[in-house]
Amino acid sequence: MSVKFYPAADRGHFDFGWLDTNHTFSFGHYYHPDRTRFGMLRVFNDDVVAPGEGFGTHPHNDMEIISIPLEGTIVHRDSMKHDEALRPGDVQVMSAGTGLTHSEFNGSSTEYLKFLQIWIIPNKPGVEPRYDQRSFTLQPDHITTVAGPKNGSAPLWINQDAWLSLVKLTAGRDVTYTSHREGNGLFVFQIEGTSDVNGHVIGRRDAIGFEEAGTITISADTDSYAVIIDVPR
């Protein structure tokens, strides 16, 4: 079984003053030949935005973009006339498709914004751009699948045979995740705490990818919070 480790300390890190960002995969000013993507998972950025700052209007196309606020408020505006606020508990999906523009700003003038930005390569180009967001209350020691393919059972959908799940575990508890699709890889990003994933220990902001595991068991060494991405290789 092929296992890939992505230690937090080895990520691409840049502090631009208004933005303090860590890249698990090659992105922007960061390039690592062995870390360009995990299957169709192309970007996993861990961003901290200073009060009153943000990403000005910029374009995207042919990418499924998922944002997960961890602290603070994201103010999102786009060319589809959405003007939205996202806070911890919310998850946003956006299909860039044939093209759109958007901006993301910290909604506070005093507090920092912390959020995860995830890009997944779509299963077909040129789709109609779309936007959606939902709020979730995570049950302790339970996997909550927040996004999946169109016409599936997940509350949010994307144009790819991929699923994104969140799990908060109490120290000493465990959960088992089985891939929704044979042949997919499983990628786990540890937001907080320390866990054992199929015998491999990962800590805060570490990640691990299993290219051939159909099932993984996550055991929490401490109270923990993690993202599971079930994605075509």
- For 96-150, the pLDDT digits (tens) are 999 999 999 999 999 999 999 999 999 999 999 999 999 999 999 999 999 999 9
Ranges of residues in the chain with a pLDDT under 70 are 1
- Tell me which residue has tokens 């508990």: 89
- pTM, two decimals, is 0.97
* Per-residue exposure over 186-200, b if at least 16 CB sit within 10 Å of its own CB, e if not: bbbbbbebbbebbee
- pLDDT score for 208: 98
- Give percent of the chain with pLDDT exceeding 90: 99
142-232 shares the fold of 12-135: yes
Q: Please name which of 116, 64, 28, 8 lies closest in space to residue 232, comparing C-alpha atoms.
A: 64
- pLDDT score for 185: 98
- Distance in angstroms (rounded) separating the CA atoms of residues 8 and 23: 9
Torsion sign, CA atoms 210, 95, 115, 58: positive
Contact between 193 and 220 under an 8 Å Cβ cutoff? The reply is: yes
Looking at domain 142-232, its CATH superfamily turns out to be: Jelly Rolls (2.60.120.10)
Name the residue ranges covered by the structural domains of the chain.
Answer: 12-135, 142-232
Strand partners, 13: 22
Spell out the CATH class of 12-135.
Answer: mainly beta
- pLDDT score for 56: 97
- pLDDT score for 1: 64
